[in-house]
Structure 1
């Protein structure tokens, strides 16, 4: 019930004419909606006007709301900060929330350590380390990590770097680390210099880095240290090559982020391009649904606000396609996050405006992929699936699992994701089963489901609307028990058996049978079959790798230790097969190198 007869109307009259945040809560204390306002009284009263044209989402919220809280702040900027914190903490159901894309990897530099290390991680945390990324695609992070080890020699491992190790590890022998784990191999000064060069490289400050490297190369040449000079020459060449890989126009060396969007009706997709040192370092994508009313004018500002509320880095400049609501307020808030001035700009001409068009085009394509292609059929299937499984809501996000193995060997699992009736391939995951020996599909399914949702609980990430298991009652029972033991909140779960295409639900002895022509069944089959395909593809990859490693170890002179050394040094089996004798001889004796080349010829 909205309008002047709402029970909270009197409470709204009690709110002050001051900036702050307000919360609507349900009868059980759940936060339904969080908002901010320059004047709490004016904003909250607007919900209860007789002729207020609220979108359906807000009307539903008001029907459930029985409690109204408000918090006064000292300024609008403080209200903006508080609103973000409340949304992250309370996760209100009726706020327009961002749907994040895949967690692409970061490179983590442990700068607080006496001897920092550089490692690849999937999540940036609020700690003393410095994070670079996210990298897109993920292979770029691994390639950058290999390049960092080869040229900057900052430790890429988790060994104790206190000089206590008797002998240095493999990375030192591969000339990919200065060896701080062993006393006497490097000095604090030498290692700190390498870390500083690495930081310049990872920040995209290649011009500053190249200037330093050229000076070091010239100094080494003057002192006739030709091997060291050659090292700097090779590093300069690779840094320059790395800089040229970006095919976007250079838009300045300062850090900048570019936002653009494509919107149709109540849906929108926002693209964010992260420019670091004049290069595109990463791209992020978010989607909005149920945009209407106030959000129609302000959703871009809201997207910028929510993105930076959890971002690791705020650049000096944020570029948007049009003037956003409360620009000065947004700039003040961003400046507070960064610790120095941040400008929100609208590019009008030149390379920045041209680059903005590139971002816009990407947003258009992403929107078409996410919402338009087959969207109508997907919505119909989801609605039917809701009714068939007796769900409270249509399952927007479905996560499906399958197990694949060959007579109990190379046991792997897949997880595929559907959102809005369409595959969301960026969210796919695969798993190696670690704790189960032999052929035990039930235990394997329990392990994988448990690992997945234990992690989501630990990281406080969003749960799916439906979990689909490829199999029958046994797999379903194992998965359901693992979900409960993970500490996750209750999530609807179903299993789809292959032969009769029967649907099983936890706690129900009778299977559900849908007509073969049912869009709901066809959607489940499509998701199940994709999970099977993805698991089988990964299983074949694991078996192929194991077979090639076994073949490598069968070469005279190449055992497990040398096989591992070759793979670490060259990065892949394909690289070992393609390597020349001289390159192989840098890792194994020349006679063994010749035997390897002869074997793969």
Structure 2
């Protein structure tokens, strides 16, 4: 069934429709109250040679649809389909950053506390999100120091023979060893942590004070001192909370700057009346990427269509300049009667540019799409969302979000007063973000360091980075390099080269483990400072090998990350499930790539020198008939001279001729006979 015939079979129910191209890829997803009228309206616009609608209809060869009961369900379904299918003609939220939560694993025998960015239905308690991102890590560190609840990866369903370093430095109760803490005492401490994270600090302070008095009367002074420190910590946090909530409610504030078909959006997170964090979003080549976003306004009057004729998300993303001041956008109007679809219908599919003179950006259509992707899947939504423009779906989105969180959510586009001033302020910041991103302004070094700290959730500003790489050819002459970045520049005086001594064959993981162990065991013995960050050239395997090496020498809190080749994904140890994906234009990514590439260059250079030395001194040079090329093929195939010695005659013939194989075996047999000590008979 062709596309024209299929449209006649679409029901007049609410739902979502999916346009597909000839390869079967979904290129656009939209929603509608009346699916048949909505899809037919595209052909009306195409027949009128509308460039924006025509760009979609030239590629569309099929349409699918999913019916739902009401418009709210269609709204949620559309959001899910866009995120799953990533259609080319829809707004795609490429920055999918989520703020961290604190996870308390209440479903385990001895619960632990972690920082996570993913919420799962696994029986654990989640608290957050926390702004800025490193606040969650600071709170978990505070829980380690004050309440002694661990976040290690040790299996606590069974007991172990000895505790780790965290227990001996008094940052863990030691539930891994039988007799260190009773399950009842541990459960009571977990309850304290839960009260602390829930913000019930007054109740927690009363309980801790009572237990401290009991411990003091029983002359358990060490326990009483620990409870006293917990009371002080809770009291300090309670004072900070009073300060933070003395002002207004939570709000998210948006601003944007659009120029030359490129868009920068800023989002400021306000909590308790204070700006606690911000996010930047960028889109390039908007007409090519999103030609079909707009709002439904009657072109003749500039007013919104009635409820039956109201257009759903999916209108053209580019609005005629004549309607720019009123925020209107041209979109197929289901209120108009669409022509009967038949093979002779004058539908224009010839090529035409996506943008035409006189067309401009439609902010209201953009924010309609953006807010759905940002908030429909979030567990926490602020009470106020302030925008620079209004949009048609605002009322229904407000109802859906309010129903989701259980209280009234306000989505507003203020025109005057303090709130409008705040929106304008965010808009000014969006312009600065635009300039920095698209006008190629080089940020200063401290700004890059701060951005790197935020991207990798480091506790301190990174001042020194040591990066490692392994180099070999099929396991032969395996070497490693370490390069150093310090205070904005590569510090060549601190570069180091390593020969891998304990690993034979191809085993990058074991090689990395050896080098990391040797390097930082030496620093530990010499009592020298560790770097701000250890960077590994490789993926998760190399990262975990480095972490194991550090754990063997008792180092567990060292920031550690790796950058995978090709994908350019950064994995931070402890957050492997949430890899850091930076934009290809990001100065932070450029810095990490620069350090990684320098490490690779240094390793390859050293490896070449080692090969040259090996080649000059190779035992194969003394064998008649084995020249440089044959020698190179043998070493590449067997990995080393030792491998060639141990190879059978048949194995050698896979690389060289049988005659040369015979000479090689004879040569090494003579060497073995000469090296064997002769027996002297004593009479």
TM-score in terms of structure 2 length: 0.50
In structure 2, do the counterparts of structure 1 residues 137 and 230 end up closer, same or farther at CA, with 3 Å as the change threshold?
same
1:341 aligns with 2:407: yes
1:314 aligns with 2:377: no
Q: Do the aligned residues in 2 keep the contact of 1:413 with 1:448 (CA within 8 Å)? A: no
Match of 1:292 in 2: 318
In structure 2, do the counterparts of structure 1 residues 47 and 285 end up closer, same or farther at CA, with 3 Å as the change threshold?
same
2:204 to 185, 196, 212: 212
For residues 248 and 366 of structure 1, what CA distance do their matches in structure 2 show?
31
Q: Do the aligned residues in 2 keep the contact of 1:101 with 1:286 (CA within 8 Å)? A: no
For residues 314 and 42 of structure 1, what CA distance do their matches in structure 2 show?
36
1:68 to 40, 49, 63: 63
Q: Shift in Å at residue 148 of structure 1?
A: 1.3
Q: Do the aligned residues in 2 keep the contact of 1:316 with 1:342 (CA within 8 Å)? A: no
In structure 2, do the counterparts of structure 1 residues 221 and 404 end up closer, same or farther at CA, with 3 Å as the change threshold?
same
Match of 2:255 in 1: 261
* Greater C-alpha radius of gyration: 2
In structure 2, do the counterparts of structure 1 residues 269 and 244 end up closer, same or farther at CA, with 3 Å as the change threshold?
farther
Q: Do the aligned residues in 1 keep the contact of 2:31 with 2:78 (CA within 8 Å)? A: yes
Q: Shift in Å at residue 354 of structure 1?
A: 7.2
Q: Shift in Å at residue 133 of structure 1?
A: 5.5
In structure 2, do the counterparts of structure 1 residues 247 and 530 end up closer, same or farther at CA, with 3 Å as the change threshold?
farther
Q: Deviations over 1:67-126 (max 9, x none)?
A: 011221100111012112212222212211012166765543323223221124465556
1:531 aligns with 2:593: yes
2:372 to 276, 287, 305: 305
1:71-90 aligned within 5 A: 71-90=66-85
Q: Shift in Å at residue 149 of structure 1?
A: 0.3
Q: Shift in Å at residue 166 of structure 1?
A: 3.8
Q: Shift in Å at residue 32 of structure 1?
A: 0.6
Between stretches 118-127 and 405-414, larger displacement belongs to 405-414
In structure 2, do the counterparts of structure 1 residues 404 and 449 end up closer, same or farther at CA, with 3 Å as the change threshold?
closer
Q: Shift in Å at residue 26 of structure 1?
A: 0.8
Match of 1:22 in 2: 17
Q: Do the aligned residues in 1 keep the contact of 2:146 with 2:233 (CA within 8 Å)? A: no
SS at match of 1:224: helix
SS at match of 2:58: helix
Kindly report the root-mean-square deviation, in angstroms, between the aligned alpha carbons of the 2 structures. 5.0
Between stretches 361-370 and 170-179, larger displacement belongs to 361-370
Q: Deviations over 1:243-265 (max 9, x none)?
A: 777999747697x4514121325
Q: Do the aligned residues in 2 keep the contact of 1:249 with 1:355 (CA within 8 Å)? A: no
In structure 2, do the counterparts of structure 1 residues 244 and 282 end up closer, same or farther at CA, with 3 Å as the change threshold?
farther
Q: Deviations over 1:114-154 (max 9, x none)?
A: 32211244655564434456666665444332211011222
Match of 1:115 in 2: 110
For residues 342 and 412 of structure 1, what CA distance do their matches in structure 2 show?
54
SS at match of 1:64: coil
In structure 2, do the counterparts of structure 1 residues 356 and 239 end up closer, same or farther at CA, with 3 Å as the change threshold?
farther
Match of 1:557 in 2: none
Q: Shift in Å at residue 31 of structure 1?
A: 0.5
SS at match of 1:46: helix
Match of 1:182 in 2: 177
2:186 to 191, 197, 206: 191
Q: Shift in Å at residue 36 of structure 1?
A: 0.9
Q: Do the aligned residues in 2 keep the contact of 1:218 with 1:229 (CA within 8 Å)? A: no
Q: Shift in Å at residue 25 of structure 1?
A: 0.3
Match of 2:479 in 1: 408
Q: Do the aligned residues in 2 keep the contact of 1:246 with 1:280 (CA within 8 Å)? A: no
In structure 2, do the counterparts of structure 1 residues 186 and 258 end up closer, same or farther at CA, with 3 Å as the change threshold?
same
Match of 1:367 in 2: 434
TM-score in terms of structure 1 length: 0.56
For residues 184 and 153 of structure 1, what CA distance do their matches in structure 2 show?
16
Higher relative contact order (CA 8 A, sep 6+): 2
For residues 115 and 539 of structure 1, what CA distance do their matches in structure 2 show?
47
Q: Do the aligned residues in 2 keep the contact of 1:316 with 1:341 (CA within 8 Å)? A: no
Match of 1:589 in 2: none
1:86-97 aligned within 5 A: 86-97=81-92
Q: Deviations over 1:471-515 (max 9, x none)?
A: xxxxxxx978999xxxxxxxxxxxxxxxxxxxxxxxxxxxxxxxx
For residues 331 and 481 of structure 1, what CA distance do their matches in structure 2 show?
38
- Runs of 5+ consecutive residues of structure 1 not aligned to the other structure: 1-6, 376-401, 415-432, 440-446, 455-477, 484-522, 541-601
1:34-53 aligned within 5 A: 34-50=29-45
Report how many residues are paired: 416
For residues 53 and 246 of structure 2, what CA distance do their matches in structure 1 show?
41
Q: Deviations over 1:174-233 (max 9, x none)?
A: 222233323444344543443344345445x2xx31452155225524763565554444
Match of 1:429 in 2: none
For residues 149 and 78 of structure 2, what CA distance do their matches in structure 1 show?
41
Match of 2:151 in 1: 156
Q: Shift in Å at residue 40 of structure 1?
A: 2.0
Match of 1:593 in 2: none
- Runs of 5+ consecutive residues of structure 2 not aligned to the other structure: 287-316, 320-328, 330-361, 443-466, 472-477, 486-507, 516-535, 544-563, 570-584, 603-683
